[in-house]
Structure 1
Amino acid sequence: MLTLFLIGIGAGLLAGLLGVGGGVLMVPVLVGLGVSPIQAFGTSNLAIVITSIAGTWQNWRSGNLQAASIWQLGLPAIATAQLGVWIAQKLSAATLLLGIAGLYLLNIFLVELRQWLNRSREKAIDQQPRPTLAAIVLTGSLGGILAGLFGIGGGTLMVPLQVLLMGVPIKTAVQTSLGVIIVTACSALTGYAIAGDVLWREGLWLGLGGLLGVQVTTRLLPKLPSLLVQRCFQLLLLTFAIYFIWKAQNP
């Protein structure tokens, strides 16, 4: 339980810094501890609910929360999260592990894309157009599918899509994503709980650690050297992707 609590703290640090639910760290740890992939996804969503609520509460207290944007993205995510849960329950453990490994490799590129988009937005002079309904629905729907399918909250995709498709500043996208993750994780958690694929005690300890960790980075987000954090995060993703590929071949 102490190990899970410490891992939860690390996941919370990532959640507040990058606008993700922390599942990118919690899922591989659970799998490494011998939990099946499907239970790791379900348990991760429980911890993500706790972590994202804590981070969003801090953003709200700081005046950095746009409730309208959260619900615009969250409503389509509710249904698609259930779709992700359904797909996950139909796939084999090896397929799920290879799928999340591919997602982690994609996220290495997405983190780089986010930084490039951020620099482009800062240099832009013209005001960005209002996001279209299609962009909002697509961003929320894809985030929901990832939350249900891989138990990672969906923020890893929602943040760059908000910047790319909706013209949202990077820090605003991070803060909004953390709020949307509450909706996606709750929806996905319901589906996994009904199927009996949630380890409640383990998820609670992860979530309590995340609650502590997210308080740090939601306060320090504007002050941290982003390039160093970005490279460390990408290295972490690459390590976990290699591990999942190995695990899929050696169950």
Structure 2
Amino acid sequence: MSALVLAVPLGVVVGITLGALGGGGSILTVPALVYLLGLDARAATTASLVIVGITTLIGMLPHLRAGRVRLGQGVVFGLLGVGGAFLGSLLSTTVPQNVLLVAFAGLMLVVAAVMTRRRRAAARRQAAGQGEVEARTTPMLSLRPFRCDCRAVGVLLLTATAVGLLTGFFGVGGGFAVVPALVLALRLPMPVAVGTSLVVITINSASALVSRLGQDVTLDWALIGSFTAASVVGSLIGARITSRVSPARLNLAFTVLLVIVALYTAARSIPQLF
């Protein structure tokens, strides 16, 4: 019962970070499930797929109504990552729990570095008076015959597969990689890339979950349900926070939190390797 009660505030916190920050916000799910709710690493990464998938699916609806989702392109990107998601799920079963957690700590540090780089780039643009520069609305990859940029196709395939691999292996949404990939490969404006990334994350999470359900993983559905419901509520709260708090401050606070959690995860897991 105590775990069920604790799942609610944890789910709200994860949902708030996801709603307020978009890509990367859900990466706290696995550490919360492992260290605060007592799940083993494999069960936690599998449960995370359910939580992240449902939260992003519901979180996509406001973006869809606002016209910030390119559904077709999001579905194509997501389907291209299905193979990577299945491969990542299979690889996760061959890795010892502590190795998986050490690798996850490394992933959190990478995400923190990416978010720091984005924050500094935004600060430089603001100082130069450029503001938020949106990419062209015309995608580099067109579905019409004879209008396909081969370089863009290559970037799209590699990125989609890599994101799927991350989702399957770590049980994370991979939004921190999806959003810049959509901007660079498909040249989507940033607000549209954020909305469309939720389609990709939902598809990757679902495909990775399907492959994991055939494995020997036991899930506490009551715990997952409580966490997911709270996460959905938190994501709605987080979406409102973005309009009231400076994005740079949110980014900085989340980056610091990521580094702390990553170091804690590494400190707990690395000694178990020896």
Do they fold alike, i.e. is TM over 0.5? yes
Secondary structure of 1:152's partner? coil
Spell out the pairing of 1:31-70 with structure 2 (5 A cutoff): 31-32=34-35, 33-70=37-74
Cα distance, 1:127–1:74 mapped onto 2, change above 3 Å: closer
Tell which deviates more after alignment, 229-238 or 22-31: 22-31
Percent identity over the alignment is: 27
Cα distance, 1:125–1:58 mapped onto 2, change above 3 Å: closer
Of residues 161, 170, 179, the one that matches 1:141 is 161
Partner of 1:217: 238
Secondary structure of 2:81's partner? helix
Partner of 1:245: 266
Q: CA deviation at 1:250?
A: 4.6
Tell which deviates more after alignment, 202-211 or 217-226: 217-226
Secondary structure of 1:90's partner? coil
Q: Does 1:15 align with 2:18?
A: yes
Spell out the pairing of 1:117-128 with structure 2 (5 A cutoff): 119=125, 122=131, 127=136
Of residues 94, 99, 104, the one that matches 1:95 is 99
The one-letter amino acid paired with 1:20 is: G
Q: Does 1:153 align with 2:169?
A: no
Tell which deviates more after alignment, 220-229 or 141-150: 220-229
Q: CA deviation at 1:167?
A: 3.6
Tell which deviates more after alignment, 41-50 or 4-13: 4-13
Q: CA deviation at 1:130?
A: 3.3
Of residues 132, 136, 139, the one that matches 1:130 is 139
- The answer on whether the counterparts of 1:50 and 1:208 sit within 8 Å (CA) in structure 2 is no
In structure 2, the gaps of 5 or more residues are 141-151
In structure 1, the gaps of 5 or more residues are none
CA distance in 1, matches of 2:135, 2:115: 25
CA distance in 1, matches of 2:51, 2:161: 21
The Cα offsets for residues 64-106 of structure 1, whole Å up to 9 and x where unpaired, read as: 2211221121011122111111111111111101111110110
Q: CA deviation at 1:124?
A: 5.8
The one-letter amino acid paired with 1:130 is: P
Cα distance, 1:61–1:34 mapped onto 2, change above 3 Å: same
Q: CA deviation at 1:187?
A: 0.9
Of residues 86, 108, 126, the one that matches 2:90 is 86
Count of residue pairs the alignment pairs up: 251
CA distance in 2, matches of 1:157, 1:227: 19
- The answer on whether the counterparts of 2:135 and 2:188 sit within 8 Å (CA) in structure 1 is no
Tell which deviates more after alignment, 221-230 or 147-156: 221-230
The Cα offsets for residues 47-79 of structure 1, whole Å up to 9 and x where unpaired, read as: 112101110112112332211221121011122
Of residues 95, 111, 116, the one that matches 2:115 is 111
Of residues 18, 24, 27, the one that matches 1:24 is 27
